[in-house]
Amino acid sequence: MSETRAAKRHKWRLPCEIVFEGGRQRSFVIDLSESGLFVRTGVKLLPGTLVEVRLALETARAPILLRARVARAKQVPAQLTSIAHGGVGLQILDVPQAYLDAVRALQQGTHLRAVNTPVERSPDRTASTARFRVRLKQSDGPRSRMVELRAESAEQARSLAVREAGAGWEAVTADRVAS
């Protein structure tokens, strides 16, 4: 299988935050280039989905915000996550100069280092949401699983949990959890 990449990728593990419709997750960039990156995540994001990736690098004055589109999604069964990484390949839509500078420094042999995890929690969002435990069941099978997340209502929690679990799952219950 031949790969057609616009730019050379560099393996480099950096903490990040990926923000998508309906949620956000702390994660890791596994590799990066001037035009894209691969972010390790278990969240099911479909190709074409718009996301924002936040990086805080020692070389940048402020957190770097990357607007990106999911180019490909790599799903890995839960039992293989210790040896294989699932995630999303992202195409950066607007490449900020600070990001280009960081990638070019990496190309020249400089080590990129992260500073303070780039998570920006909105106090209003956290205050207006509650924690829910959602029980999911496999649509055409015997498996079930539990997911905990923040949502404004039980209905929204069910919807977010099904989206995170992906195709073939349905929400059975959504119970509010004491914070």
C-alpha–C-alpha distance, residues 151 and 176, integer Å: 10
Model pLDDT for residues 40-65, shown as the tens digit of each residue: 887 888 899 999 999 887 777 788 89
Q: Are 29 and 90 in contact (CB under 8 A)?
A: no
158 CA to centre of own chain = 19
Closest CA to 30 of 61, 77, 62, 76: 76
Judged by phi (left if over 0) then psi (alpha if -120 to 50, else beta), residue 42 lies in alpha
Do strands 169-177 and 87-94 pair parallel, antiparallel, or not at all (unpaired)?
A: unpaired
Q: What is the pLDDT of residue 124?
A: 43
- The DSSP output letter for 117 is -
- Taken in order of first residue, the domains within the chain and their CATH numbers are 10-107 (2.40.10.220), 123-177 (3.10.20)
Query: 32 — phi, psi (to 5°)?
Result: -150, 160
Q: What is the pLDDT of residue 71?
A: 93
In single-letter form, the type of residue at position 59 comes to T
The segments of the chain whose pLDDT lies below 70 read 1-10, 77-85, 112, 115-128, 166-167, 179
Q: What is the pLDDT of residue 116?
A: 56
Q: What is the pLDDT of residue 118?
A: 42
Q: What is the pLDDT of residue 84?
A: 65
C-alpha–C-alpha distance, residues 23 and 18, integer Å: 9
Q: What is the pLDDT of residue 36?
A: 92
Q: What is the pLDDT of residue 120?
A: 46
Beta carbons within 8 Å of 97's beta carbon, 6+ residues apart: none
Burial (CB count within 10 angstroms: exposed 0-12, middle 13-18, buried 19+), residue 69: middle
Q: What is the pLDDT of residue 123?
A: 43
SS3 17: strand
Closest CA to 54 of 44, 41, 63, 45: 63
Q: What is the pLDDT of residue 149?
A: 80
Q: pTM above the 0.75 mark?
A: no
74 CA to centre of own chain = 12
